[in-house]
Structures are given as structure tokens and as C-alpha cells.
DNA sequence: AACTATAGGGAACGATCGTTCTCAAAGCAA
DNA sequence: TTGCTTTGAGAACGATCGTTCCCTATAGTT
């Protein structure tokens, strides 16, 4: 396994462990065991646990954003593109491993201790807002619609995580449809 | 200070510390210092840190629920009662100490480690859903409306916490108004 | 005043954390 | 083979955690 593979492998495994059980609950010794690398090599690849956490969050952001964009690109018309976000959530919530938004979890766990984690979380959510705002603008809708749709998506993520049920995605999608129809110009 | 006062004082101080900085970040030694009680007395009042955490969450739930109910009771008509939840959020977000929903934070931090915390969080959110469902039913609205309004409220809480700005309450309120008008029978 | 029970204050305990260090094994050049 | 550098494996370190224990001082009773 070359260094790049090892680097990526550590991040993948750490992501799974942190997401399943929380960041503080996973120690470096356990991570070392799961990736099957000497502790020394782990510290050669990353200077600290914090660096691994940041790498995990950055990867999460990239994957999440790319997956969302694909759903949007696959949608035909502006209304469908806006609703695509909730289809993306539905797919996500249906995964066995779903346990809420990793950023929200990390923020709740360490946001008050680590300005870096708080900032990464803020940036992640802000980027989602920007995606929605752009779609709303492209569709000629009321600028207020973007943040409203974002609230539904955020609420669905926490609700699905806490309730353990994926139905929040459909509820959010239905509500979004109503908000869109009320604030987007009817298609000619 | 009699034992009841001490008991309540510990819970109040612990709530403030846990909410500000996270549960795991606050040690018993620091709590002891802040409440100015011997460690021995702290352990005479509560059998463990976990018991304090549970007491803090239970108190949060009671205060939150009572505050929400008061806002609802103060509202005149069914539509206003539904919107009262967002006025309650607006007041809350405006507090300097606001740092998100304590249950969501605790769930993100310890939900995967502690079934008790996960269950308390689930129960807290479920009780909010019940309050909204009742208001919707009393108003003769579509039963789907309750969960939709809850999603907006949950999304507003996380968004306000992460962004550090209270505007999510108004955005949620405006969206709620649209959803209500679409799914509640017009007042005669 | 003498004895007893209680409570304060904090040291001690055992566990665990992130990180560093030791040291032997292994690879490699000569 | 010999000497040298790099690596693997995990022990060690220092800090911190929740919890318990010890010891002293005080208060109450006779």
C-alpha cells in the first residue's frame, strides 16, 4: 500500500469510527488497530488526531457536495432541481449507517472547544445555502425561499437521526413543494 | 442552603457548564468548584455524573415545554398558536447564551454511547411533535402539517446554533405561515 | 471535658487519553 | 559478514477523567 492509499485508508476508517461512535469516543489506539498500521506510521501520516478529524470532515464535505450536485444535475427542471436535495436526503437516511449529519454531530460534541470544527461546520452549511440560493435565483424565485428550504433539510437531518426513521425526508420534500409553489413563478 | 436548594443549584450550574462547553468537557472537579461544594457532598446528592446529566436534561425539557406552552396559551387563534412556536424560538435564539438545542448537542456528543441520552432526546423531540400535532388537529388542519412545522423548528435550531445568527427563527416563521395557509382550513 | 458521629477538603486510585520514546528486527550497501 | 539506517510494535509518559478514601476538625451528646 503506497502512502497515498494509506492516507486515504486512514481517513475512511476514521470517518466510519467517528461517525458511528463519536470523535472523542474513538482513541488513537483503536484507530491504529482498525487501520492495522503502527502508531508511529499513523503519526507519520498525520501530525495529530485533530488533523485526522479535519481530513475526515473535509472529505465528508466533498462527498456530500458532489452527491448533492449529481442529484441536482440529474433533475430536469428548476422545481425538480430544488426537490432533488430531499431525494438526496431520502437516499442518505435509508442507509443503515445513517446517524445524522457528521458536521452537526461534531459541532455538538466539539464546536464549543474547537473553533476550527465550528468554522468547518459553518462553512459546510453555508455552502449548502449557497447551492440552494443559486437554484432559487436561476428559477427566478423569491430569495427568501432558499433559506426556508435549507431549514427543512436541516430539520430533516436531525429529526431522522434522532427518531431513527427516514420519513422526515418525505415530509420535508412535501413541505418544500408547497413552499416552492408559493414562491416560484409558475412555469410557462 | 438546604439539600433541596443544593440539589437544584447543582443542576442549574451543571446545565450552564454542560451547555456552554459540552458534557465531556466539564469534569466533576470543575463542577465542584463552581457549585462550591465538597466532592463528597456532590456524590451524596447524585450517585454519578451521569445522574447529573439526566437531571439537567429532564429540567431542560420541563422548562422548554413550559415556556413553549405559555407562548401557545398566550396566542389567540389556532394559526397564531402554531406560529407561537417560532416566536418562542426567536426569543431563545436572541439569548446570549444560546448554543443550540441541548438535546441535539447531547445526542451528537453521547447519543451513540448512551442509550439513555438517546432515548431522552427522542422523547423530548417526540413531545414537541405531539404538541404541534394537537394544535393542528384542534385547528382541523392536514395531519401532515404537524411534522412539517416541526422540521422547520428543528432546522431553525441547528441553523441558528451553527450560523450564530438568530434570523433562522423568522425564516422558519415565514415558511410556517405559508405551510399553514396551504393546509389549514381558512377561518370562517 | 470526653467521647462519638459527621462532614469538609483534597489526596489517591485506577483507567484512559494523545503523544513520544525505546529498542529490537529487518533491509541494504559495502 | 559487517555496519548503518529505517521500520515495526508497543511500552512509557504525563495529563486528566470519574470516583473513592483518608484524615482532620468540628459539632453534639452526656
pLDDT per residue over A148-169, tens digit each? 999 999 999 999 999 999 999 9
Give the pLDDT of residue A3. 58
Q: Please tell me if residue A178 touches chain B, with a CB cutoff of 8 Å.
A: yes
Among A83, A62, A90, CA closest to A136: A83
At A38-76, the pLDDT tens digits run 999 999 999 999 999 999 999 999 999 999 999 999 999
B105 exposed, middle or buried (CB, 10 Å; 0-12, 13-18, 19+)?
Answer: buried
Nearest-angstrom CA–CA distance, B145 and B141: 7
Nearest-angstrom CA–CA distance, A142 and A153: 18
Give the pLDDT of residue B5. 82
Q: Which residue of A has its CA nearest to B21?
A: A112
In angstroms, the CA of B185 and the C1' of C18 are apart by 60
Q: Please tell me if residue B165 touches chain A, with a CB cutoff of 8 Å.
A: no
Element (H, E) at B114: none
**A48, A75, A76, B153, B175 from A83: Cα distances, Å:** 40, 9, 11, 20, 16
Nearest-angstrom CA–CA distance, A63 and A68: 9
Helix, strand, coil percentages for chain B (3-state, nearest 5): 75, 0, 25
Residue B53 grid cell: 446529566
Nearest-angstrom CA–CA distance, A147 and A128: 10
Contacts of A105 in chain B (CB under 8 A): 108-109
Give the pLDDT of residue B1. 53
| Helix/strand/coil for A129 | helix
Contact A176, A152 (CB under 8 A): yes
At B131-186, the pLDDT tens digits run 999 999 999 999 999 999 999 999 999 999 999 999 999 999 999 999 999 998 87
Could you tell me the pLDDT band of residue A4, with boundaries at 50, 70 and 90?
A: low
pLDDT at A1 over 60: no
Could you tell me the pLDDT band of residue A188, with boundaries at 50, 70 and 90?
A: low
Contact B162, A104 (CB under 8 A): yes
Better-predicted residue by pLDDT, A187 or B176: B176
Residue A35 backbone dihedrals phi, psi, to 5 degrees: -85, -10
User: Across the interface, do A154 and B153 touch by the CB < 8 Å criterion?
Assistant: no
Q: Please tell me if residue B107 touches chain A, with a CB cutoff of 8 Å.
A: yes
Contacts of B126 in chain A (CB under 8 A): 163
Q: Is the pTM of this model over 0.85?
A: yes
What percent of chain A clears pLDDT 70, i.e. is strictly above it? 97
Q: Residue A14, CB half-sphere, CA atoms under 13 Å: how many?
A: 28
Give the pLDDT of residue A65. 98
**A21, A178, B36, B89 from A72: Cα distances, Å:** 31, 19, 56, 32
Residue positions counted in chain B: 188
Could you tell me the pLDDT band of residue A184, with boundaries at 50, 70 and 90?
A: confident
In angstroms, the CA of A38 and the C1' of C18 are apart by 15
Give the pLDDT of residue A186. 76
Total CB pairs under 8 A between chain A and B: 149
- Residues lower than pLDDT 50 in chain B: none
Show the beta-strand stretches assigned E in A9-152.
none
Q: For cell 415565514, what's the residue?
A: B174
Better-predicted residue by pLDDT, B1 or A30: A30
Amino acid at each position: 500500500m503506497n502512502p497515498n492509499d494509506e492516507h486515504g485508508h486512514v481517513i475512511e476508517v476514521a470517518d466510519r469510527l467517528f461517525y458511528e461512535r463519536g470523535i472523542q469516543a474513538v482513541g488513537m489506539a483503536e484507530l491504529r488497530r482498525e487501520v492495522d498500521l503502527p502508531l508511529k506510521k499513523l503519526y507519520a501520516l498525520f501530525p495529530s488526531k485533530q488533523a485526522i478529524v479535519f481530513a475526515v470532515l473535509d472529505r465528508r464535505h466533498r462527498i456530500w457536495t458532489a452527491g448533492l450536485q449529481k442529484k441536482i444535475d440529474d433533475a430536469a427542471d428548476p422545481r425538480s432541481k430544488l426537490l432533488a436535495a430531499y431525494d438526496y436526503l431520502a437516499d442518505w437516511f435509508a442507509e443503515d449507517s445513517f446517524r445524522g449529519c457528521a458536521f452537526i454531530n461534531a459541532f455538538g460534541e466539539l464546536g464549543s472547544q474547537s473553533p476550527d470544527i465550528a468554522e468547518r461546520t459553518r462553512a459546510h452549511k453555508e455552502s449548502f445555502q449557497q447551492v440552494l440560493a443559486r437554484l432559487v435565483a436561476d428559477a427566478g424565485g423569491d430569495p427568501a425561499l432558499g433559506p426556508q428550504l435549507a431549514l427543512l433539510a436541516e430539520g430533516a437531518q436531525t429529526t431522522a437521526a434522532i427518531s431513527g426513521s427516514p420519513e422526515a425526508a418525505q415530509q420535508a420534500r412535501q413541505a418544500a413543494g408547497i413552499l416552492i409553489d408559493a414562491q416560484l413563478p409558475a412555469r410557462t
